[in-house]
Every structure is written in structure tokens, then in C-alpha cells.
Structure 1
Amino acid sequence: MEVEGIILLLYGFMAAVLGVSLPGLLNMTAVKISQEYGYNDAFKYICGALSVIFIQTFIAIFFSRLIESSPAITEALHEIGLAIFSVLTIYFFFFAKRKEKRKHQGDIPKRQTPFLQGILLASINVFSIPFYVFLSITLATYDYHIFDQIYTILFSLGVVMGSALMFYMYIYFFKKITREDAFILKNINYIIGSITAIISLITVYKLLR
């Protein structure tokens, strides 16, 4: 495997860790299934969700390849991305509040196939697609060949690996310790705010260069 392939695999991994780090539909459902029905059902659910996440990442890169062919659209997306990440930075540092874990998140039908449930929930969770579109275009502007099929696959695999890690981390943390005691969850607003601030600075440098 070439160095660029490994780098894109790691970028996909880190992007997924960032994207799945906040409490959301997919990771909290994984925790609920694990606690109510055990690790075996949670594993099946995660496999279903990861299969859709891989496809969604592939679709995002496909769309980004079409958009990247237009320099005007690319520059506009950088400006929009800067605005979004700047707002997120302000939000996470100054306005976001830690909330207690909701006790009632809806019952999971006992006889529902966990694998199918993972597919269905991941399919309606389409918010990650714009994120990977923007990230793919950003990587392409830094001369990474992410649009080559092999690199697209490696990046998508990295996303799957990062997502899987975070799912299992959520299961582990909620199984072993309370949410208030978990350092990552306790300080997640400041962690995400720092990351978005760094991305904003990089985007400003890219626009002014």
C-alpha cells in the first residue's frame, strides 16, 4: 500500500472519529441495544450501520468529484465551510450545554433484526454526506488523489473503521462508567470546538493563499 493510501485511510478514520464522537442516533442506539439485548445484537446492528456508512461515503466522494470540476463552486464551498466551522467553534465554546442522558429514547422492538435496524437508521442519517463532500474536496485541493477508485475505497474503509471504533467506545463507556465520569464526553464541547477552530484557521489560510 502506498503512503498516500495510508494517509487517506487515516484521514477517513479521523474524520469518522470526529463525526461520531458526539452523542447521536446511531451511537446511542448501539448503546441501547447492547444494554438491553447484549453484545451479539449490538455487533449485528453495527455491521448494518457500517455497510450503509461505507456506501454514503462513496456517494459523497462521487458528488464531490462533480463539484470539484468547477473552481467557482469549490471556492464557494470553502467559504461556506469557513462560515459553518466558525459558527460551530463559537457554539461549542460558548453556548453548548452538557445535557443529561435521556432515559427514554423509544423502545426497540425485541424481534426486530439488529442488522436491518442498523441499515435503516444509518440510511436516514444522511447528515454525514455533506461533511464528507466538503472534506473530499478539501483533500483534493491539497493534491490527494482521493477520486481514484482505490483511494476512494481506502478513505471509505477508514471512515468505517473510525465509526466502528466510536460505536464500541460508546458501548464500553456507558457499560463501565457513567456519562458524567467519562472525560471525553464530559469535555466534548471543548474538544470539538478546538477541532473546528483549527479547521477554520486552515480554511482561512487556504482562501488567502
Structure 2
Amino acid sequence: MSVILPFLSGFVAAIIGIFPPGLINMTAAKVSVTDGRRRALVFVLGALLVILVQTYISVIFARYINKNEEVVVLLREIGLGIFTVISFYFLFFAKTPKKQIDKESIQLKSKRSRFFMGMLISAINFFPIPYYVLVSITLASYKIFTFDAVSIYSLVFGVVVGSFSVFYCYVVFFEKLKSKTDYFIKNMNTIIGLVTGFVAILTLINILNYHFN
């Protein structure tokens, strides 16, 4: 159980964080269209290597934070405020994003190593670090995850497998996913607002349980 739950949690967290169209998955789809699936999968492997390192660093950082309960509670309260503000912004104030998936949006050269390109594009994306810090601390607060070596490796492996699954879908099924991609782009603000709102509610419940129990 100490292996399965962290793995599934990491798998689901990765899908939630990566499935909406972003720089990495859309670049993977672009490489697939222009250079073929094999090169696209090489690109994905490069991105996954960085994601693995980022996730491991995030969980280790979260382990040290988790030792100080007051810091954890403070981070939850800060996170509650941030998620609440983000939810209101995306639900009521943000403008609809424009579709920017055209052939000239990402310039790729066939001579450039797709593996290192995947590493580079993944490295400039700092979102996974705070995201997986928050995910691991939240999972630990619900006793789903512990900061022992087995659970950490299981969570990280789940994140890598979940990330690969999403990237693979973009690489292989991009043409079929175009309509879904358009839907996500048109409704991205609402989707983000609802997800962050749900996380804010869970965080609020967790804070209230801490203060009143």
C-alpha cells in the first residue's frame, strides 16, 4: 500500500498538471508532426529526465518543510489565499486565451538534438517544483503519502509514468485530440478556475481540521 498509493497519486497529479495544452506537450506534438513519432519520443525522454529530477527535488524539499508543522500550516494558508485569488481571477476576470498552435509558433531544426531540446524546454518550466511540493505536503497531510525512501521513489515514478502517458497521447493521437485541444484553449480559464477552486476548498477543510481538532 505504501507503494501503490504514492504511485497512483503521482500518476494522477502528473496528468492533472500536464494534460492542459502547454509548451512541452504541444512541442512534442509539433515534433511528431514535423519529424515523426520516434524523434518526438526522444524529445519526450529528455523532458522526462528533467521532470524526474524536478519532482525528486520538490519532494525532498517538501520533506524538510513537513518536519515543521507550523511552516506547513502557514504554507497551506498562503496556498489557500493564492488558490482563491487565482480561482476568482480565471473565473471572472481573465480574458479568453487565443489559439496559438500554428506551424510557425515553434521553430524546430531537424539537426538539433530532440533529447536535449526536451531537457531545455522542460528545464525552463519551473511550475513542477512548487506544484509537487504542494502535492506531496497535501498527500502527507491526508496520510496518503509518507516521506520515506520507498514512498518518495514511488511518487516520483508515478509522476514520470503519468507525464509520459500524457506526452505519448499528444505525440500519437494529436490529430484526434485537436478538437479537445481547441476546447481546452477556449475554456482554459474556467477549467483552471474550477480546479484551483476545488484545491482551495480542500485546503480550507484541512486548515479547519488542524485548528479545531
Structure 1 residue 135: Cα displacement: 1.3
Counterpart of 2:13 in structure 1 is: 15
Number of aligned residue pairs: give it. 207
Query: Structure 1 regions of 5+ residues with no counterpart?
Result: none
- Find 1:77's aligned residue among 75, 78, 87: 75
Aligned equivalent of 2:96: 97
Aligned to 1:133: 133
User: What's 1:156 paired with?
Assistant: 156
Higher mean C-alpha deviation, range 88-97 or range 133-142: 88-97
Q: Which amino acid aligns with 2:67?
A: S
CA contact (8 A) 2:45 2:118 kept: yes
- In 1, the alpha carbon distance for the partners of 2:83 and 2:135 equals 12
TM-score, reference length from structure 2: 0.87
Percent of residue pairs identical: 38
Q: Distance in 2 between matches of 1:29 and 1:175?
A: 14
Q: Report SS of the residue matched to 1:4.
A: coil
Unaligned runs of 5+ residues in structure 2 are none
Find the aligned partners of 2:17 and 2:50 in 1 and give their Cα distance. Answer: 15
- The 5 A counterparts of 1:153-192 are 153-176=153-176, 178-179=178-179, 183-192=183-192
What residue identity is the alignment partner of 1:208?
Answer: L
Q: Which deviates more, 38-47 or 17-26? A: 17-26
1:102-113 to structure 2, matched below 5 A, reads 102-103=101-102, 104-113=104-113
Do the aligned partners of 1:101 and 1:179 also contact (CA within 8 Å) in 2? no
In 1, the alpha carbon distance for the partners of 2:196 and 2:181 equals 24
The Cα shift of 1:44 comes to: 0.5
Are 2:114 and 1:114 equivalent residues in the alignment? yes
Q: Counterparts of 1:207 and 1:152 in 2: how far apart (Å)?
A: 24
- The letter of the residue matching 2:170 is Y
